[in-house]
Amino acid sequence: MPGVLLVGNGAREHAIAEAIMRSSLNPKLFSCMKTNNPGIAALSSKSLVGPYEDLAAIMAFAKENGCEFAVIGPEDPLNLGIVDALAAAGIPAVGPKKKLARLETSKSFTRDLVRKYNIPGNPRYETFTSIDGIEAFLKELPGVVVKPDGLTGGKGVKVQGDHFQTRQEAFEYCREVLQEHSAVVIEEKLEGEEFSLQCISDGRTVVATPPVQDHKRRFVGDKGPNTGGMGSYSDRDHSLPFMRPEDVQAGLDITRKVAEAIYRETGDYYKGIMYGGFIITRDGVRLVEYNARFGDPEAMNILPLLKTDFIEICRAVVNGTLDRLPVEFEKKATVCKYIVPKAYGLPKDHPDAKSTSAKIDVGDVGSARLYYSSVDRKADGLYMTTSRAIGVVGIAASLDEAEKIAENAISAVKGPVDHRPDIGTKALIQRRIDHMQRLRRG
């Protein structure tokens, strides 16, 4: 009966907790959460609620409960060195050590690694530690993306045309970034359709899970500010309607080369999730960024489809035996939509941006899966906070059916909530297909 430590308290971790508890090995779950997630707590034998910075408390909790290994959900504890601390206490983890988590926490580390080992996928880019040379480089690129070299909770990356328009504004933003971060990465802006490829790695073997497309914009039609992700979908054939079969393979090939490069560079095997954000351009697949963890919402698309026992996968990751384990997923389509408070993602000066803790009532959601994110369970029911509240996932033989299952479930949730009704619909997916066709025609 393995004891598993799960770190994290979002809907992603609720989906991980469910995958752990579906195991036929009868595991016991010990969860460590920054704030209590009632969905994870209900699946756990014991929970520790406290800051990720308190590594000593987390180590003591893991040891006193005899945890065999840990699964780390979010990037913050990875960046704090939780995996290094666990390793020192003799507890292996599904999650990279701090220096390997630089794959996510340092944009320049990843771009330089890809460049140094001649791995395809980088756009044109340069890293700057001062403003010297920035103006000249900005002039060389028709459009740019500016990335602070550090963790910014998804808020730091700014794209020309979306967040700013002119070179001068790009320059000003670079100056601002350099006041807070040691470096800024400037990249050529790419046009295409993005997909997330969450790969499982034991450092030597890298296995892809089905590709997913996320929707970052707050409002219908990909309008409004960027968010942590409003929803995502995956298709029955383990491709996406706008992709060619070779696109998934290209993302996996890049990730395999990066896993090998990171070992050659650091002498350590990357054990955990390598989530590649890729973009398909008219010239092929390019790397947008890596995350050192599952995606949120993307984890909710792929974990419910797992046919292989998740505990077996985790053991293969920590023991370096992934080459001997077939990892299989059901051939089904999934649509995930986040239920959010109406004020979620609005700029602070927006008249509707006032956010209060509001009660929601969850009725009959049919066959949909619900994964709790920022919700509190009080004596009289479930309350939202200010962030994404519940991930709702429809799973079916087709995208159309999966989307309907998710929508029906959302209509059973009453309260001052919002979501994106267009995610997973035929109309929006057709726009992606048309966009890709236009690009490929040139």
Please report how close the Cβ of residue 104 comes to ligand GLY at its closest, in angstroms.
9
434: helix, strand or coil? helix
Residue position matching structure tokens 């140094």: 116
Confirm or reject binding of residue 291 to ligand GLY (CB under 6 A): yes
Q: State the SS3 of 176-199.
A: HHHHHCCCEEEEECCCCEEEEEEE
- Rounded CA-CA distance 51/64 in Å is 18
Which DSSP state fits 237? T
Confirm or reject binding of residue 214 to ligand GLY (CB under 6 A): yes
Which region among 48-56, 171-179, 290-298, 432-440 touches ligand GLY (by CB under 6 A)? Answer: 290-298
- Of the candidate residues 149, 187, 298, 407, the single one contacting ligand GLY (CB under 6 A): 298
Tokens standing for residue 60: 């003591």
CB nearest ligand GLY: which residue? Answer: 295
Q: Which is nearer to ligand GLY, 315 or 420 (CB)?
A: 420
Confirm or reject binding of residue 76 to ligand GLY (CB under 6 A): no
Please report how close the Cβ of residue 232 comes to ligand GLY at its closest, in angstroms.
7
Q: Which is nearer to ligand GLY, 187 or 296 (CB)?
A: 296
Residue position matching structure tokens 């504004």: 169
Confirm or reject binding of residue 296 to ligand GLY (CB under 6 A): yes
**Are the C-beta atoms of 303 and 18 separated by less than 8 Å?**
yes
**Are the C-beta atoms of 103 and 258 separated by less than 8 Å?**
yes
- Residue 279, H or E segment: strand 272-281
User: Distance between the two ends of the chain, CA-based, in angstroms?
Assistant: 57
Which region among 84-92, 135-143, 289-297, 320-328 touches ligand GLY (by CB under 6 A)? Answer: 289-297
Cα radius of gyration rounded to whole Å, the chain: 21
Tokens standing for residue 336: 């995930």
DSSP strands (E only) in 326-438: 333-341, 359-362, 369-372, 375-378, 381-384, 390-396, 413-414, 417-418
Confirm or reject binding of residue 104 to ligand GLY (CB under 6 A): no
Please report how close the Cβ of residue 289 comes to ligand GLY at its closest, in angstroms.
9
Confirm or reject binding of residue 422 to ligand GLY (CB under 6 A): no
Which region among 112-120, 261-269, 293-301, 426-434 touches ligand GLY (by CB under 6 A)? Answer: 293-301
- Of the candidate residues 10, 95, 121, 229, the single one contacting ligand GLY (CB under 6 A): 229
Tokens standing for residue 441: 């025609």
Residues that contact ligand GLY, how many (by CB under 6 A): 7
Please report how close the Cβ of residue 82 comes to ligand GLY at its closest, in angstroms.
18
Q: Please, which of residues 112-171 interact with ligand GLY by CB under 6 A?
A: 154
Confirm or reject binding of residue 345 to ligand GLY (CB under 6 A): no
Which stretches of the chain bind ligand GLY, using CB under 6 A? 154, 214, 229, 291, 295-296, 298
